[in-house]
Amino acid sequence: MSPSSTPTMSSIVFSDTPTSSPVSLAIRNSDFRPSEMVDGMEAVTYPIFTEMVTSGNLSSKSEQPVTCIIADGLFSFAGGVAQQIGIPLIYFETISPCGLWIHLCVPKLIEAGELPFKGDDLDARITCVPGMEGFLRRRDLSSFCRSGDPTDPLIKLILKENQ
């Protein structure tokens, strides 16, 4: 395809949240703790994101209003914002399909008693993730599964996002 026949996307604008947001500043902090970020992410990011798409250059009254939101699956609050302003939302996951499947099975893992782990054997098989019964081991799960605490903020976030 020659450059002159390549379609242009001049009407697509990508935007992200400001890097001076409290979440971004916390990430740069040397004392950063992921669980603290999870606890405050929605409380901090939701108002910033809502303000970003409902006022100023991106509002429905602007020359180039937001017409669709594409959000990481971790940011479920984006669905409320999209619904509020009446535009479509597309979620995407940045983890692998196998990782996503395991995350979707976390409630089943807890129900079956496979989370939190009992003991320290990371080679023990995980048997209640459909399609992975024969080969999935504890060490193959995300690190938050090793916390041993079912009230861990990351586990709570995964459970909430699964709803």
- Helix (H) or strand (E) holding 52, with range, is helix 34-54
pLDDT exceeds 70 at position 139: yes
C-alpha span between 58 and 95 (Å, rounded): 29
pLDDT in tens, 17-74: 655 555 555 555 555 565 566 656 677 778 888 888 888 677 777 777 888 898 887 7
Between CA 82 and CA 17 the distance in angstroms is: 16
pLDDT value of position 5: 47
The pLDDT tens digits for 75-128 are 788 888 999 989 999 988 778 888 888 888 989 998 999 988 888 899 999 999
pLDDT recorded at residue 72: 82
Structure token pair of residue 53? 């798409």
